[in-house]
A = this chain, B = another copy of it.
Amino acid sequence: MKNYNIAVVGATGMVGRTILKVLEERNFPINNLYLFSSAKSAGTSMEFKGKSYIVEELNNASFDRDMDIALFSAGGSTSTKYAPIAASKGVVVIDNSSAFRMDKDVPLVVPEVNESEIMKHKGIIANPNCSTIQAVVALKPLHDKYKIKRIVYSTYQAVSGSGVKGVDDLKNGLANKPNSFYPHPIANNCLPHIDVFGENGYTKEEMKMIEETKKIFDDYNLRITATTVRVPVSNCHSESVNVEFYNDFDLEELRNTLKDSPGIILVDDPEKNLYPLASLANGNDEVFVGRIRRDESVDCGINIWIVSDNIRKGAATNAVQIAESLIKNI
Protein backbone atom coordinates (compact mmCIF):
# COMPACT_ATOMS: atom_id res chain seq x y z
CA MET A 1 0.00 0.00 0.00
CA LYS A 2 1.30 3.39 -0.98
CA ASN A 3 1.87 6.09 1.61
CA TYR A 4 1.11 9.71 0.81
CA ASN A 5 2.69 13.07 1.50
CA ILE A 6 0.10 15.16 3.28
CA ALA A 7 -0.02 18.83 4.26
CA VAL A 8 -2.36 20.32 6.84
CA VAL A 9 -2.80 24.08 6.43
CA GLY A 10 -4.13 25.73 9.58
CA ALA A 11 -2.80 22.86 11.66
CA THR A 12 -2.94 24.67 15.00
CA GLY A 13 -6.62 25.67 14.74
CA MET A 14 -9.51 23.71 16.21
CA VAL A 15 -10.32 21.94 12.93
CA GLY A 16 -6.62 21.48 12.02
CA ARG A 17 -5.90 19.74 15.29
CA THR A 18 -8.91 17.51 14.81
CA ILE A 19 -7.81 16.66 11.25
CA LEU A 20 -4.54 15.37 12.71
CA LYS A 21 -6.41 13.38 15.33
CA VAL A 22 -8.73 11.86 12.71
CA LEU A 23 -5.85 11.05 10.33
CA GLU A 24 -4.18 9.22 13.22
CA GLU A 25 -7.36 7.44 14.39
CA ARG A 26 -8.18 6.23 10.89
CA ASN A 27 -4.56 5.27 10.25
CA PHE A 28 -4.36 7.29 7.06
CA PRO A 29 -1.35 6.05 5.05
CA ILE A 30 1.07 8.96 5.49
CA ASN A 31 4.65 9.15 4.31
CA ASN A 32 5.65 12.77 4.99
CA LEU A 33 3.45 15.12 7.00
CA TYR A 34 3.79 18.89 6.64
CA LEU A 35 2.06 21.27 9.02
CA PHE A 36 1.45 24.92 8.14
CA SER A 37 0.03 27.93 9.94
CA SER A 38 0.18 31.70 9.93
CA ALA A 39 3.33 33.45 11.17
CA LYS A 40 1.69 33.77 14.59
CA SER A 41 1.56 30.04 15.30
CA ALA A 42 4.57 28.96 13.22
CA GLY A 43 7.25 27.23 15.28
CA THR A 44 4.69 25.39 17.42
CA SER A 45 5.52 21.75 17.98
CA MET A 46 2.71 19.24 17.38
CA GLU A 47 2.54 15.49 17.95
CA PHE A 48 1.39 12.98 15.33
CA LYS A 49 1.63 9.25 16.00
CA GLY A 50 4.17 9.87 18.74
CA LYS A 51 6.45 11.99 16.55
CA SER A 52 6.97 15.75 16.88
CA TYR A 53 6.44 18.11 13.98
CA ILE A 54 7.33 21.81 13.85
CA VAL A 55 4.60 23.94 12.29
CA GLU A 56 5.95 26.02 9.40
CA GLU A 57 4.76 29.42 8.27
CA LEU A 58 2.72 29.11 5.08
CA ASN A 59 4.26 30.88 2.06
CA ASN A 60 4.41 30.73 -1.72
CA ALA A 61 7.12 28.05 -1.63
CA SER A 62 5.28 25.78 0.81
CA PHE A 63 3.94 23.51 -1.93
CA ASP A 64 7.20 23.17 -3.86
CA ARG A 65 7.83 19.84 -2.14
CA ASP A 66 6.63 16.39 -3.12
CA MET A 67 3.06 16.56 -1.80
CA ASP A 68 -0.06 14.61 -2.72
CA ILE A 69 -2.86 16.21 -0.72
CA ALA A 70 -3.20 19.44 1.26
CA LEU A 71 -6.05 19.73 3.76
CA PHE A 72 -6.81 23.45 4.16
CA SER A 73 -8.56 24.80 7.24
CA ALA A 74 -7.23 28.30 7.77
CA GLY A 75 -10.13 30.47 6.65
CA GLY A 76 -11.34 31.83 3.33
CA SER A 77 -8.59 34.33 2.60
CA THR A 78 -5.78 31.79 3.11
CA SER A 79 -7.60 29.33 0.86
CA THR A 80 -8.29 31.96 -1.79
CA LYS A 81 -4.60 32.85 -1.91
CA TYR A 82 -2.84 29.51 -1.45
CA ALA A 83 -5.19 26.75 -2.66
CA PRO A 84 -4.70 27.69 -6.35
CA ILE A 85 -0.92 27.80 -5.81
CA ALA A 86 -0.98 24.31 -4.29
CA ALA A 87 -3.23 23.02 -7.05
CA SER A 88 -1.01 24.51 -9.74
CA LYS A 89 1.84 22.45 -8.33
CA GLY A 90 -0.12 19.23 -8.56
CA VAL A 91 -1.20 19.04 -4.94
CA VAL A 92 -4.88 18.15 -4.52
CA VAL A 93 -6.46 20.62 -2.11
CA ILE A 94 -9.33 19.60 0.16
CA ASP A 95 -10.57 22.97 1.30
CA ASN A 96 -12.64 23.48 4.43
CA SER A 97 -13.35 27.17 3.77
CA SER A 98 -16.31 28.56 1.84
CA ALA A 99 -14.01 30.17 -0.78
CA PHE A 100 -14.53 27.63 -3.58
CA ARG A 101 -17.69 25.79 -2.58
CA MET A 102 -20.00 27.32 -5.13
CA ASP A 103 -17.36 27.35 -7.92
CA LYS A 104 -18.75 25.19 -10.72
CA ASP A 105 -15.32 23.66 -11.32
CA VAL A 106 -14.98 22.59 -7.69
CA PRO A 107 -16.73 19.46 -6.43
CA LEU A 108 -18.55 19.98 -3.12
CA VAL A 109 -18.44 16.62 -1.46
CA VAL A 110 -19.92 14.63 1.38
CA PRO A 111 -18.72 11.08 0.67
CA GLU A 112 -21.92 9.41 1.91
CA VAL A 113 -23.86 11.56 -0.58
CA ASN A 114 -21.85 12.30 -3.73
CA GLU A 115 -18.48 10.55 -3.51
CA SER A 116 -18.31 10.12 -7.29
CA GLU A 117 -17.95 13.89 -7.72
CA ILE A 118 -14.48 13.74 -6.17
CA MET A 119 -12.69 12.53 -9.28
CA LYS A 120 -14.09 15.43 -11.31
CA HIS A 121 -11.78 17.76 -9.40
CA LYS A 122 -9.39 20.14 -11.12
CA GLY A 123 -7.06 20.42 -8.15
CA ILE A 124 -9.49 21.67 -5.49
CA ILE A 125 -12.28 19.79 -3.70
CA ALA A 126 -14.49 21.72 -1.28
CA ASN A 127 -15.67 20.50 2.09
CA PRO A 128 -19.20 21.83 2.70
CA ASN A 129 -20.34 23.97 5.60
CA CYS A 130 -20.70 22.03 8.87
CA SER A 131 -24.44 22.57 9.21
CA THR A 132 -24.98 21.44 5.60
CA ILE A 133 -22.89 18.25 5.92
CA GLN A 134 -24.90 16.73 8.74
CA ALA A 135 -28.19 17.67 7.08
CA VAL A 136 -27.39 16.11 3.70
CA VAL A 137 -26.06 12.88 5.24
CA ALA A 138 -29.44 12.46 6.92
CA LEU A 139 -31.55 13.64 4.00
CA LYS A 140 -29.78 11.84 1.15
CA PRO A 141 -31.40 8.40 1.62
CA LEU A 142 -34.79 10.08 1.99
CA HIS A 143 -34.28 12.18 -1.13
CA ASP A 144 -33.34 9.02 -3.08
CA LYS A 145 -36.39 7.16 -1.87
CA TYR A 146 -39.17 9.74 -1.55
CA LYS A 147 -37.83 12.78 -3.47
CA ILE A 148 -37.66 15.91 -1.39
CA LYS A 149 -39.82 18.87 -2.44
CA ARG A 150 -39.04 21.38 0.30
CA ILE A 151 -36.83 21.74 3.38
CA VAL A 152 -37.19 24.20 6.29
CA TYR A 153 -34.01 24.29 8.37
CA SER A 154 -33.77 25.76 11.89
CA THR A 155 -30.37 25.23 13.47
CA TYR A 156 -28.99 25.17 17.00
CA GLN A 157 -25.27 25.66 16.36
CA ALA A 158 -22.45 25.27 18.87
CA VAL A 159 -19.83 27.93 19.55
CA SER A 160 -17.02 25.62 18.40
CA GLY A 161 -18.23 26.48 14.90
CA SER A 162 -16.60 29.87 15.49
CA GLY A 163 -13.34 28.22 16.60
CA VAL A 164 -11.47 28.90 19.82
CA LYS A 165 -12.81 32.47 19.97
CA GLY A 166 -16.39 31.25 20.14
CA VAL A 167 -15.62 28.64 22.79
CA ASP A 168 -13.78 31.23 24.90
CA ASP A 169 -16.64 33.70 24.49
CA LEU A 170 -19.11 31.19 25.96
CA LYS A 171 -16.76 30.31 28.83
CA ASN A 172 -16.06 33.96 29.62
CA GLY A 173 -19.74 34.82 29.44
CA LEU A 174 -20.72 32.06 31.85
CA ALA A 175 -17.98 33.28 34.20
CA ASN A 176 -19.40 36.83 33.93
CA LYS A 177 -16.30 38.14 32.19
CA PRO A 178 -17.00 40.63 29.43
CA ASN A 179 -17.59 39.10 26.01
CA SER A 180 -15.82 40.16 22.90
CA PHE A 181 -16.13 37.87 19.90
CA TYR A 182 -19.88 37.70 19.20
CA PRO A 183 -21.83 40.94 18.78
CA HIS A 184 -24.00 39.99 21.80
CA PRO A 185 -23.46 37.75 24.83
CA ILE A 186 -23.74 34.09 23.82
CA ALA A 187 -24.12 32.82 27.40
CA ASN A 188 -27.85 32.59 28.15
CA ASN A 189 -28.76 33.76 24.66
CA CYS A 190 -29.64 32.35 21.26
CA LEU A 191 -28.19 34.55 18.50
CA PRO A 192 -30.06 34.31 15.18
CA HIS A 193 -26.91 35.50 13.47
CA ILE A 194 -24.13 33.32 12.04
CA ASP A 195 -21.75 34.88 9.52
CA VAL A 196 -22.63 38.17 7.81
CA PHE A 197 -26.05 39.42 6.71
CA GLY A 198 -26.85 39.72 3.02
CA GLU A 199 -29.15 42.19 1.30
CA ASN A 200 -32.04 39.73 1.29
CA GLY A 201 -31.96 39.59 5.11
CA TYR A 202 -30.49 36.08 5.20
CA THR A 203 -27.11 35.43 6.77
CA LYS A 204 -24.33 33.89 4.71
CA GLU A 205 -24.67 30.75 6.89
CA GLU A 206 -28.34 30.46 5.91
CA MET A 207 -27.54 30.94 2.22
CA LYS A 208 -24.77 28.32 2.50
CA MET A 209 -27.27 25.77 3.79
CA ILE A 210 -29.72 26.61 1.00
CA GLU A 211 -27.23 26.68 -1.88
CA GLU A 212 -24.85 23.94 -0.77
CA THR A 213 -27.69 21.47 -0.21
CA LYS A 214 -28.86 22.04 -3.80
CA LYS A 215 -25.33 21.66 -5.20
CA ILE A 216 -24.54 18.50 -3.21
CA PHE A 217 -27.83 16.87 -4.25
CA ASP A 218 -27.36 18.30 -7.77
CA ASP A 219 -31.00 19.29 -7.63
CA TYR A 220 -31.72 22.95 -8.23
CA ASN A 221 -35.47 22.42 -8.08
CA LEU A 222 -35.28 21.78 -4.36
CA ARG A 223 -37.09 24.42 -2.33
CA ILE A 224 -35.12 25.28 0.78
CA THR A 225 -35.20 27.93 3.46
CA ALA A 226 -33.12 28.28 6.61
CA THR A 227 -32.80 30.07 9.94
CA THR A 228 -29.39 29.52 11.54
CA VAL A 229 -28.91 30.23 15.22
CA ARG A 230 -25.91 30.17 17.54
CA VAL A 231 -26.74 28.62 20.92
CA PRO A 232 -24.76 28.44 24.19
CA VAL A 233 -23.50 24.91 23.56
CA SER A 234 -19.75 24.15 23.31
CA ASN A 235 -19.75 21.57 20.56
CA CYS A 236 -22.12 19.75 18.14
CA HIS A 237 -24.80 21.32 16.01
CA SER A 238 -28.46 20.33 16.38
CA GLU A 239 -31.02 20.92 13.63
CA SER A 240 -34.80 20.94 13.54
CA VAL A 241 -35.61 20.02 9.95
CA ASN A 242 -39.03 19.99 8.35
CA VAL A 243 -39.11 18.03 5.09
CA GLU A 244 -41.84 17.71 2.47
CA PHE A 245 -41.63 14.86 -0.04
CA TYR A 246 -43.21 14.35 -3.47
CA ASN A 247 -43.92 10.72 -2.63
CA ASP A 248 -45.72 9.27 0.35
CA PHE A 249 -43.97 6.97 2.78
CA ASP A 250 -44.50 4.47 5.51
CA LEU A 251 -42.97 6.01 8.62
CA GLU A 252 -41.45 2.75 9.86
CA GLU A 253 -39.92 2.11 6.45
CA LEU A 254 -38.54 5.66 6.38
CA ARG A 255 -37.02 5.14 9.81
CA ASN A 256 -35.45 1.84 8.71
CA THR A 257 -34.09 3.49 5.58
CA LEU A 258 -32.25 5.99 7.78
CA LYS A 259 -31.04 3.24 10.10
CA ASP A 260 -29.53 1.30 7.21
CA SER A 261 -27.83 4.28 5.54
CA PRO A 262 -24.11 5.08 5.79
CA GLY A 263 -22.86 7.56 8.35
CA ILE A 264 -26.15 7.67 10.25
CA ILE A 265 -27.00 6.50 13.75
CA LEU A 266 -30.73 6.35 14.42
CA VAL A 267 -31.59 7.32 18.00
CA ASP A 268 -35.35 7.45 18.10
CA ASP A 269 -36.99 5.90 21.11
CA PRO A 270 -38.81 8.77 22.85
CA GLU A 271 -40.44 6.46 25.40
CA LYS A 272 -36.97 5.77 26.76
CA ASN A 273 -35.97 9.44 26.40
CA LEU A 274 -33.65 8.50 23.54
CA TYR A 275 -33.09 11.09 20.82
CA PRO A 276 -30.03 12.77 19.34
CA LEU A 277 -28.18 15.13 21.67
CA ALA A 278 -25.01 17.20 21.46
CA SER A 279 -23.71 15.28 24.49
CA LEU A 280 -24.25 12.02 22.59
CA ALA A 281 -22.74 13.11 19.26
CA ASN A 282 -19.69 14.80 20.81
CA GLY A 283 -16.46 13.11 19.70
CA ASN A 284 -18.21 10.85 17.18
CA ASP A 285 -18.05 10.84 13.37
CA GLU A 286 -21.65 9.87 12.65
CA VAL A 287 -24.76 11.93 12.11
CA PHE A 288 -27.39 11.20 14.76
CA VAL A 289 -31.06 11.34 13.69
CA GLY A 290 -34.26 10.99 15.66
CA ARG A 291 -37.56 12.57 16.70
CA ILE A 292 -38.82 11.36 13.32
CA ARG A 293 -42.55 11.92 13.02
CA ARG A 294 -45.12 12.60 10.34
CA ASP A 295 -45.92 16.26 9.79
CA GLU A 296 -49.72 16.31 9.63
CA SER A 297 -49.74 19.84 8.19
CA VAL A 298 -48.73 18.66 4.70
CA ASP A 299 -49.50 15.61 2.55
CA CYS A 300 -46.11 13.87 2.72
CA GLY A 301 -43.90 15.47 5.32
CA ILE A 302 -41.81 14.73 8.38
CA ASN A 303 -40.05 16.53 11.18
CA ILE A 304 -36.58 15.24 12.02
CA TRP A 305 -33.90 16.20 14.57
CA ILE A 306 -30.31 15.92 13.34
CA VAL A 307 -27.22 16.25 15.56
CA SER A 308 -23.56 15.84 14.73
CA ASP A 309 -20.11 16.87 15.92
CA ASN A 310 -19.51 19.94 13.77
CA ILE A 311 -15.73 19.84 14.21
CA ARG A 312 -15.50 16.15 13.28
CA LYS A 313 -18.12 15.13 10.67
CA GLY A 314 -18.89 18.80 10.00
CA ALA A 315 -15.26 19.56 9.12
CA ALA A 316 -12.24 17.37 9.93
CA THR A 317 -13.68 13.89 9.43
CA ASN A 318 -15.46 14.80 6.22
CA ALA A 319 -12.21 16.25 4.82
CA VAL A 320 -10.28 13.10 5.78
CA GLN A 321 -13.02 10.91 4.24
CA ILE A 322 -12.62 12.87 1.00
CA ALA A 323 -8.86 12.23 1.18
CA GLU A 324 -9.49 8.52 1.75
CA SER A 325 -11.74 8.40 -1.26
CA LEU A 326 -9.19 10.31 -3.32
CA ILE A 327 -6.31 7.91 -2.65
CA LYS A 328 -8.47 4.96 -3.67
CA ASN A 329 -8.43 6.57 -7.10
CA ILE A 330 -5.03 8.25 -7.40
Contact = CB atoms under 8 A, between A and B. Distances in A.
A232 B277 CA distance: 13
A190 B293 contact: no
Given A150-B297, A238-B229, A278 B190 contact: yes
A227 interface: yes
Interface residues of A, number: 53
Copies held by the complex:
2
Contacts of A154: 154, 227, 240, 242
A192 B242 contact: no
Given A229-B156, A233-B232, A293-B202, A277 B189 contact: yes
Contact of A192 (B185, B229, B305): B305
Interface string A3-35: 000000000000000000000000000000000
Interface in A185-211: 185, 188-193, 197, 200-203
Interface string A229-263: 10111110010101000000000000000000000
Interface stretch (A42-50, A82-90, A129-137, A267-275): A267-275
A150 B225 contact: no
A174 interface: yes
A122 interface: no
Interface of A: 150-152, 154, 156, 174, 183-185, 188-193, 197, 200-203, 223-225, 227, 229, 231-235, 238, 240, 242, 270-271, 273, 275-279, 290-298, 301, 303, 305
Given A192-B290, A227-B242, 19 more contacts: A152-B297, A156-B229, A156-B231, A183-B273, A188-B234, A189-B233, A189-B278, A190-B278, A192-B275, A192-B276, A193-B273, A197-B271, A200-B293, A201-B270, A201-B292, A225-B242, A225-B295, A229-B240, A231-B232
